[in-house]
């Protein structure tokens, strides 16, 4: 006995056995969303690394002054004792 959704396609009607085009598309949509949800739960897809080197990377500089630099900035020479 074949079930027909009788013009009301839905996932449950598909589950009852209706295989009309609309029910099949509802099912396909559901499967697609389910798969994408599973993908999200299993972590994001690794982003592609940008090709090319990092030659424009600036040279790291110290972000703190040394004692001598502070003394020089104050107009004082480091003690030479």
Inter-residue contact 5 to 13 (CB < 8 Å): yes
20 lies in the binding site for Zn ion (CB under 5 A)? yes
Cα 29 to Cα 31: distance, rounded to the nearest angstrom: 5
**Which listed residue (1, 2, 3, 9) binds Zn ion by CB under 5 A?**
9
26 lies in the binding site for Zn ion (CB under 5 A)? no
Count, residues near Zn ion per rule CB under 5 A: 5
Cα 23 to Cα 13: distance, rounded to the nearest angstrom: 7
Element (H, E) at 29: helix 21-41
**Which listed residue (2, 23, 45, 55) binds Zn ion by CB under 5 A?**
23
Instruction: By CB under 5 A, name the binding residues for Zn ion.
Output: 5, 9, 18, 20, 23
């Amino acid at each position: 006995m074949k079930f027909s959704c009788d013009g009301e396609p839905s996932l449950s009607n598909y589950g009852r056995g209706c295989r009309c085009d609309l029910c099949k598309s509802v099912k396909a949509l559901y499967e697609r969303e389910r798969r994408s949800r599973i993908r999200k739960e299993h972590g994001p897809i690794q982003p592609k690394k940008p090709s090319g080197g990092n030659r424009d990377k600036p040279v790291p500089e110290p972000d703190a002054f040394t004692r001598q630099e502070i003394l020089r900035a104050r107009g004082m020479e480091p003690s030479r004792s």
